[in-house]
Amino acid sequence: MTTHTSLSEADEAAWTELVRNGISMSIFGLSDMVGKEVKAMEEIRPVKIPVHQAPDLLGGPEAITLAVYLQVVGAARGHMVLVFTPETAFDLIDLLLDQEPGTTKELGEMEISTMGEMGNIMGSFFLNTIADSTGLDLQPTPPAVMMDMAASVLDVALAEILLEADDIIVADTMFGTEDRLINGTFLILPSHDLVDVVLHKRTTS
């Protein structure tokens, strides 16, 4: 079993920098997609927390969320989850589909596809940035779009992480535009192996 109780300060700093760059690039990808400047609302700082506290990052276990979930596959495994309140997601869908605000009221095939595409873009930008820094082959799976309680949409990711360890290094990023139209959270949930592989590769490359 791998744990990160011994992650050095230098490793933590290196991981933080990689994740920060990756998330910045994925937000850039989102800006490009929506045609508006989107910015991180706060400093991106990965933290280590007990796995069972992860749903609290999304407003609590029963908070209703719209989530786009992608797995990281390839050299190591991990999870990426893009999370919005349903209202924000519907606003975003209207923006992306060039519709009047308030048009989207539920998730149909087109809306799911639109949110999935956004997840694809953000996930790919993030992983490409990590790959560029490390040379590792990391790819996103096709996205799964879910609207339900926060804890329930994170279950599959957290179950896989709990198979290895009871804590997790999580990067929780709020982002939005000047008028806060796009206000979402991008969660990076790496397996401990992913952190190890990325840091090792970075040191040796």
Please report, as ranges, the residues that interact with another protein according to CB under 8 A: 1, 51-53, 55, 60-64, 69, 71, 85, 141-156, 158-160, 162-164, 166
Give the span between the Cα atoms of 205 and 188, in whole angstroms. Answer: 23
As measured in angstroms, the least distance from the Cβ of 22 to another protein is 21
As measured in angstroms, the least distance from the Cβ of 2 to another protein is 10
Q: Tell me, what DSSP letter sits at residue 180?
A: -
Give the span between the Cα atoms of 136 and 12, in whole angstroms. Answer: 19
Nearer to another protein, 86 or 176 (CB): 86
As measured in angstroms, the least distance from the Cβ of 131 to another protein is 19
Q: Where is 82: in which H helix or E strand?
A: strand 78-84
| Residue from 182, 202, 204 nearest 16 by CA | 202
For 52: left if phi > 0, alpha if psi spans -120 to 50, otherwise beta; the answer is: alpha
Nearer to another protein, 23 or 81 (CB): 81
Nearer to another protein, 32 or 87 (CB): 87
As measured in angstroms, the least distance from the Cβ of 51 to another protein is 6
